[in-house]
Amino acid sequence: MRITILGIESSCDETAAAVCRDGWILSNIIAAQEIHSHYGGVVPELASRAHIQNILPVVDQALITAGVEISELDAISFTQAPGLIGSLLVGAQFAKSLAYSLNLPLISVHHMQAHVLANLMGGKENKGDIPLFPFLCLTVSGGHTQIVVCESPSQMQVIGETTDDAAGEAFDKSAKLLGLPYPGGPLIDRYAADGNPARFKFPEPQIAGLNFSFSGLKTAILYFIQNEKAKTPDFVEKNLADICASIQGRIVSILLNKLKKAAAQTGIKQVCLAGGVSANQGLRKDFVEMGQSLGWKTFIPKMEYCTDNAAMIAMTGYFKFMDQAFSPLSTTVSARASW
């Protein structure tokens, strides 16, 4: 029997829909919301309104691209948590209405679980080269920074996480201090490519265990820029590439030092990246090199499956369908939810 799942993602500022059939992604459509760049960050109310405008055409396009009729769907999966409450509500209400009208099962998906499972998406495209359970995953996004032990698609344990800012916030807030527009993470990545990461030294926080902290780094960058600008007003413009490379280098080393510790503690050598920050070139390169030196088998999702997307929601929906893990129509969304 062929299992065809429609996935809907609307947790933040991307309206996305995708179709997954038997573990294959047939379509992956994303409508980004440009409007937020004028405000230096995501404006929740504007995001909700844009989701309302985008969701119907995005779902339509996902079905057309997949070549799938609405009558061929077996279930509707959607992001239930975590995220902006108004944004989540739009996707959830749409998914519930569609499931109700088509008399299909509804599947609620945790966004962070879906980021982790994006690593299983390349299965067929990569000739089966996907991580074996149990694997470790460093999940780094705009809202989360976690090290997860993944025992199966449904069994995951967070063994380390940030105590303040997420890695993506560390990138975006640093970029803001440099006068770069939102979201600054990809821009720091771009400028860092031409810079020297050893030029400026930023502190590595001393946090016990496998947890992370990025707030001290942000403060150190703020004071550094203020001091240098007092001496040389155009310091940032003149040294942008080296500053970006040095900031990126420090964020990456904070992340990878903890991941190395987690791998040593758990003895797990199948190691993955996930989440928007795993699109970062510096992180990808250093992660692969660290993996080679420590004998890990490393995995990184394809670029379009690193940042927010609905393919990962449809794929997680597929795994949950196999477990018959359905949700009632009374399911509510949640801004914060652990798993």
Residues of this chain that interact with ligand KG4 (CB under 6 A) are 12, 141-143, 168, 171-172, 183, 185-186, 189, 275-277, 279-280, 307-308
Q: What span, in angstroms and rounded, lies between the C-alpha atoms of 66 and 68?
A: 5
Q: What span, in angstroms and rounded, lies between the C-alpha atoms of 313 and 107?
A: 10
Residue closer to Zn ion, measured from CB, 141 or 327:
141
Residue 108 backbone dihedrals phi, psi, to 5 degrees: -90, 140
Greatest CA separation found in the chain?
Answer: 70
CB of 187 closer than 8 Å to CB of 179: no
Residue closer to ligand KG4, measured from CB, 122 or 142:
142
CB of residue 189 vs ligand KG4: minimum separation in angstroms?
A: 4
CB of residue 283 vs ligand KG4: minimum separation in angstroms?
A: 7
List the one residue out of 68, 64, 58, 59 whose CA is nearest residue 3: 68
CB of 327 closer than 8 Å to CB of 107: yes
Q: What span, in angstroms and rounded, lies between the C-alpha atoms of 248 and 265?
A: 26
CB of residue 103 vs ligand KG4: minimum separation in angstroms?
A: 32
Residue closer to ligand KG4, measured from CB, 290 or 306:
306
CB of residue 309 vs ligand KG4: minimum separation in angstroms?
A: 8
Residue closer to Zn ion, measured from CB, 270 or 309:
309
CB of 15 closer than 8 Å to CB of 31: yes
CB of residue 266 vs ligand KG4: minimum separation in angstroms?
A: 24
Residue closer to ligand KG4, measured from CB, 7 or 185:
185
Q: Which stretch binds Zn ion (CB under 5 A): 15-23, 48-56, 260-268, 307-315?
A: 307-315
| Amino acid letter for position 170 | A
| Amino acid letter for position 320 | K
Q: Which of residues 84-143 bind Zn ion (CB under 5 A)?
A: 141
Q: What span, in angstroms and rounded, lies between the C-alpha atoms of 119 and 267?
A: 20
Which of 54, 171, 308, 313 is in the footprint of Zn ion by CB under 5 A? 308
Binding at 189: pick from Zn ion, ligand KG4, none (beta carbon under 5-8 Å per type): ligand KG4
Binding site for Zn ion (CB under 5 A): 141, 308
